[in-house]
Structure 1
Amino acid sequence: MKIFRYLMIAFGALVFFTQNAHALTSCQLPAGLPKVYNVPLAPLNITVGPDMPVGTVVYRLNFNHPQINGFLCPPGEQFNLPQRLDYISLPMPLSSWNGTPFPGKVYNTSVPGIGVVAWSDINNQALPTVAYTTSNVNSFYVSINVVLSFIKIGPVTPGVITASSLPSVFLEFAPDPTLTGMPQRIYNLSYSGSINVVSQTCTTPDVNVPLGSYETSTFTSKGTVTAWRDASIELKDCPRFYGYYNNTSYNTSVGAGATTTGTAVPNLLTAKITPQNTIWDTAKGIMNVTSSTSSATGVGIQLGWGDSSGSPQPLNFNQNFNFNPGNNALKSFKIPLSARYYQTGDTVTPGRADGKVTFTISYY
């Protein structure tokens, strides 16, 4: 009985060592490896609105790796050939960013508030990662792309992101128990140039709007209105709104050739109007006039988005107004806002009809 048990153990050990020795495979790589690529950053400017949420992708550059042919492995062999992406160098430290996307994988750049990460568009994983594994194939090619993303990770200080602050990347055939002669480097990837990051607001002076003087006989019934008057919000000393590049509008370099610029996502300004007087009708943008012993009664002030010479649309105090400033050299412009009197009571008594609102501009 003891002999039988001893033989079983010896047989199992013999099978184990035989399998391991048989599995080792050696593959032939084409000449000229590793390839060396240097990708130019483009375009030269982006605008990151101070109110953009953290986690927003503000720049994306796809490196599309040209297909490399001529990889040969023995036919009929069983093997795995992991294609691994990793960093060659990381000039800046790992950031404290732990949000989406890529928590714990985003590095600082030379611009505070902007982080950088390289990742694979095959498995959508940040480096280091095995992007793809080739198995049991006699002849094959390699084409593994790398995506470089800038992400807002905190308050942004305007400045320049230099290529020297960005990571460089390599692709290799990683070591595997089924192969000999690994790892083998396939390409090295770095970046050149710089990107200017604009992030500031406009100045917004107070606005005084004379709505005019009217006879009480002008107001004949509830809903009677006066002519619209210009109450536009003035924006001065504005930055240039270059826009930004996210996961649906990105830049592309094929084999480190000239970078093809995508269509920028326009920056957006939103205006929020908050009445300082009591509200008479939220949906129609009507507030009561300031209450005092000398105030008029039966009349309110209505606000509307749009030019006073046209047909402004009554605003809703619960909704923001979105405005696209455009990518141009203008330093000042207006967000069109209009105001008028609106009869709220059955009768109107004479007196002052003043009101006050505050406006908040957010930059995205």
Structure 2
Amino acid sequence: MSRVKATIAVLTALWMMKHVGTLAWADDCSDESNNDTVNLGVLTVSSNSADPVGTVLGSKETGAYNGGKRLAGCFRDYIEEWRYFDGGAAVDGVYQTTLPGLGVRVTHQDHDLIVPFDLPRGGSLANRGHSYVKVGLKVDVVKTGAMSSGQWSVPGGLLLLGKIKGEEEFAYLKLDAINVEASSCNVVTPSVNVDLGQHLKSDFNGIGSSGAVTNFQIRLQCDASMGVNVQLDGDATVGANGVLNLNGDSTASGVGVQISRNGEPVQFGQPINVGQSIAGTFPIDFEARYYQTTAQVTPGKGNATATYTVTYY
């Protein structure tokens, strides 16, 4: 799974101290808390370019807000509103930032509702209705497309707010910035031709005998310290480890092509961990040789084909 590292360098969610709004509290509604600050600190995430859109790269939760005590309320029915700072909509629950591929989703965990949303609240003169955040808010950083390095800074540092409709805001969520570092590996050798040379029939003296080894490489261009797997697939010979059957256009018979790494035959269809990448060109070494598969060898042209898949993380 080819990886893209993303670092939310400063993910700080703050329920801000009371903000002076353009509206005043009505006589039947009021703010009920001055303990409004929750700091989520720093969140570091990693993504992989093979991950589908919608993958959650990292999450952080506020926990109970104001000790689970009430934040605001009214002596009447009212609507509790939660909105992003710019009033923007969310597509499939995800708010798209101005950084390509980077989205944010905020969930009010008390009600399992995703911002933006409206929540009806009941209240009366005899029984005041209240707004709470007893469980917390959950911030998800979501992949929305191809990602690249960059930074998203929230204008004014304010991500979203909660308010009573027609009244003042009573809660704020602050997010300073999300920094993204894109890390990747690219294949330098999409096609590798390995010349096994010419061999005499007499070089093979029975099933399991083999010709001289030819070394070859799959080369990648990578960022440093990325885990890399390589998987080889092909028409494998039954009963012979790491041996490919010859292609149909071959005129030779009785042999196949064995592929090894560090002297050990590969297992086709199984990922091979080749360690951590180095910055720049990262070569992955293999060996190939002809391998006798039947009692009788017929001279001629002998070609075999394998495909390889590289994943990184």
User: Is 1:234 the counterpart of 2:219 in the alignment?
Assistant: yes
How far apart are residue 308 of structure 1 and its match? 1.9
Q: 1:356 to 1:363 in 2, by over 3 A?
A: same
1:219 is matched by which residue type in structure 2? F
Q: TM-score, normalised by structure 2?
A: 0.65
Deviation at 1:143, TM superposition (A): 3.7
The counterpart of 1:160, out of the listed 126, 150, 155, is 150
> 2 CA distance for matches of 1:201 and 1:268?
10
Residue in 1 that maps onto 2:141: 150
Deviations 1:234-283, CA, capped at 9 Å, x for gaps: 212x1356xxxxxxxxxxxxxxxxxxxxxxxxx765545455xx664499
Q: Which runs of 5+ in 1 are unaligned?
A: 1-25, 98-102, 176-181, 242-266
Tell me if 1:169 matches 2:125: no
Change (3 A) 1:350 1:70: closer
CA distance in 2, matches of 1:71, 1:292: 78
Q: CA deviation at 1:54?
A: 1.7
How many Å separate the matches in 2 of 1:134 and 1:342?
Answer: 80
Equivalent residue, structure 2, for 1:89? 85
Do the aligned partners of residues 157 and 354 (structure 1) sit closer, same or farther apart at CA in structure 2, a change above 3 Å counting? same
Q: What letter matches 1:289 in structure 2?
A: L
CA contact (8 A) 2:68 2:134 kept: no
Mapping for residues 213-252 of structure 1, pairs under 5 Å: 215-225=200-210, 230-236=215-221, 238-240=222-224
* 1:314 partner letter: Q
Contact 2:218-2:284 at 8 Å conserved across structures? yes
Q: Secondary structure at the match of 1:110?
A: coil
Q: 1:217 to 1:167 in 2, by over 3 A?
A: farther
Distance 1:39 1:314, change over 3 A: closer
Q: Within 5 A, what are the aligned runs for 1:99-118?
A: 103=92, 105-118=93-106
The equivalent residue for 1:32 is 34
Q: Distance in 2 between matches of 1:187 and 1:210?
A: 69
Closer, same or farther: CA 57–337 of 1 in aligned 2, 3 Å: farther
CA contact (8 A) 1:223 1:343 kept: yes
SS at match of 2:140: strand
Give the deviation of 1:150 after TM superposition: 2.3
Taking the aligned partners of 1:132 and 1:302, their CA distance within structure 2 comes to 69
Report the alpha carbon displacement of residue 29 of structure 1 after superposing the two structures with TM. 6.2
Matched, 1:301 2:300: no
Equivalent residue, structure 2, for 1:350: 299
Count how many residue pairs are aligned between Structure 1 and Structure 2: 280
Structure 2 CA distance for partners of 1:291 and 1:340, relative to 1, 3 Å: same
- Structure 2 Cα separation of the partners of residues 61 and 283 of structure 1: 51
Say which of 292, 314, 322 aligns to 2:267. 314
Between the aligned partners of 1:228 and 1:121, the Cα distance in structure 2 is 61
Partner of 1:60: 59
Of residues 120, 123, 136 in structure 1, which corresponds to 2:108? 120
Partner of 1:202: 186
Q: Aligned equivalents of 1:119 and 1:212: distance in 2?
A: 63
Query: When you count strand as a share of all residues, which structure comes out higher?
Result: 2
Q: CA deviation at 1:287?
A: 2.6
Aligned-partner Cα distance in 2 for 1:116–1:280: 50
1:361 aligns with 2:310: yes
Looking at structure 2, the residues matched to 334 and 114 of structure 1 have their Cα atoms a distance apart, in angstroms, of: 32
Equivalent-residue separation in structure 2 for 1:346 and 1:283 (angstroms):
14
Alpha-carbon separation, structure 1, partners of 2:183 and 2:159:
26
Pairwise CA distance, 1:110 = 2.3
CA-CA distance at 1:190 after TM superposition:
0.8
Q: Cα offset for 1:131? A: 8.6
Conservation of the 8 A alpha-carbon contact between 1:222 and 1:346: yes
Tell whether the 8 Å contact from 1:232 to 1:336 is kept in structure 2 after alignment: yes
Whether the aligned pair in 2 keeps the contact of 1:286 and 1:303 (CA below 8 Å) is yes
Q: 2:171 aligns with which of 183, 187, 197?
A: 187
- Tell me, yes or no, if the aligned pair for 2:69 and 2:134 is still in contact at 8 Å: no
Deviation of the 1:301 alpha carbon? 1.0
Deviation at 1:107, TM superposition (A): 2.0
Aligned to 2:244: 287
Listed one character per residue, the Cα deviations across residues 47-85 of structure 1 (whole Å, up to 9, x for unaligned) are 533322122112323333554376599xxxx99999x57
Q: Which amino acid aligns with 1:297?
A: S
Asked whether the equivalents of residues 241 and 265 of structure 2 are also in contact (C-alpha less than 8 Å), the reply is no
